[in-house]
Structure 1
């Protein structure tokens, strides 16, 4: 079974390694000081969009945050327990080959329990993304247009358009998605608005 990462401790280590105060990181990320403090104390679990905003301010990619900074040699196959969890503790996003150097695509096995949401802040990042709903239903909003997709339905859009994923149903939703370049999981290479 995969070990759960201590998000608060990891964030504090990265912030201190960059010689940033909680106040300075909060200012750069556009969040309150108390948000940084509560996350570092593990008093709250940040949404994916909130964590991305904070990591972009460091800058650190989501995959490096969860996988560690050591690259792994390229290989072809990964067992289920080798996928790197980059979700927020409620929704689960498991990234394939997180530590592969020069990865040009992100492939993510996503699980949204009922009520799960990527956050009230819309996500925006470079690239394109697409996916197929494997089971359940998901409400996806892209540039103000919302649609509920079910098993077998798919999506594909320019990731610079503001977007959000929400499970408004009463069963878990499972999606397999991809984005290229892997900017969502490799934040900090460019300006993000999430």
Structure 2
């Protein structure tokens, strides 16, 4: 659901710019505050149906024009290589650059975050747990062994997956690896 709402904000912003309207003009036409429209366009809030309809009416957007579908293809993991991701233009954050690495709805969970240093030439047998897991490689290189697949991660790479998939690792590259690791423990 979150991806649909983020996509909705992007689409509203795209249509507004395509029609060469400022936030102020849309606010005046819709009766919705400039601040609220900006928050919707920049993924900081979810509009009520009433507010959404007012904005759509002011921009002359037909509901059929909006892409409210979710990707049906479910992957075992999300891998974002260093330097990849999608830059997001946020008018309310001057001087800040946002790069979306991934978005994924994670139902009821508890977040635990660690810095993990793995010495060189360490092999860890695959294990699984009742978590969702995200790892960002701060330093080094290692092989993730995820559900039998070997995925080489380098400094700057990010991976997200369901911890029910057995995970092991191998640091056969004669270098320590440091990970920022987040566990979303399912509750």
Normalising to structure 1: TM-score of the pair? 0.38
The structure having more radius of gyration, on CA atoms, is 2
Normalising to structure 2: TM-score of the pair? 0.40
User: Counting strand residues as a fraction of each chain, which structure ranks higher?
Assistant: 2
